[in-house]
Structure 1
Amino acid sequence: MDSDKKLPLGKIMTAEDIGRCVRAQRKAQGATQAEFAALCGVGVRFISELENGKSTMALGKVLQVLKCLGLELSLRPRGWNQAPATSPGRPE
């Protein structure tokens, strides 16, 4: 198994990243899309579109699926907006 399919997957920046994580976890648990959809209370089409990275998925349903998989989503600052106290070449 290559490293991009192992959990945790690292930074989630796109819907495709979430989809890859969902697919990998579902397969690791040995469930088909139909079995998993029934377990989560969503349709097979929803699972398929989620795993394929559809960017317009309903957030509440995505969170429901993640919870069903035993996954959680957390947010943290990226750090890109934290400017240094002084910039190189600029007087203090």
Structure 2
Amino acid sequence: MATDEADPATNYGKVSTSRDIGRIIRMKRKEIGVRQETAAGMSGVGTKFLSQLENGKETAELGKTLQILRKLGLEVYVFPRSRNPLRGDK
């Protein structure tokens, strides 16, 4: 997925891979000016886990990943492709 790192608004959205999740987490962490150690601590996970997650680790624990997303102020929505609310589908 090609993204423009200079424009955070274009970097959020559809997530298809663990790399996408990691990229978004890293981008948001940097956007709010928090070091990995601090983000890991406030999320209740280890720095090693956060580093691996940001690097797209495919076997990252879902619960911990959701914890980090919440602490960084990010939300996850799941919906059928045929009813994508971002495209205005009903």
Q: Name the TM tier (shorter chain).
A: 0.7 to 0.9
What is the deviation of 1:78? Answer: 1.2
Q: 1:63 aligns with which of 60, 63, 66?
A: 66
Specify which structure has the higher proportion of helix.
2
1:75 is aligned to 2:78: yes
Equivalenced residue count is: 79
Structure 1 alignment gaps of length 5 or more:
80-92
Gaps of 5+ in 2: 83-90
TM, length-normalised to structure 1: 0.78
What pairs with 1:15-26 in structure 2 (closer than 5 Å)? Answer: 15-26=18-29
| SS of equivalent to 2:81 | coil
TM-score normalised to structure 2 length = 0.80
> How much identity, in percent, do the aligned residues show?
47
Could you list the runs of 4 or more consecutive aligned residues of structure 1 that deviate by over 3 angstroms after TM superposition?
none
Which residue in the other structure is 1:2 paired with?
Answer: 4
The letter of the residue matching 2:8 is K
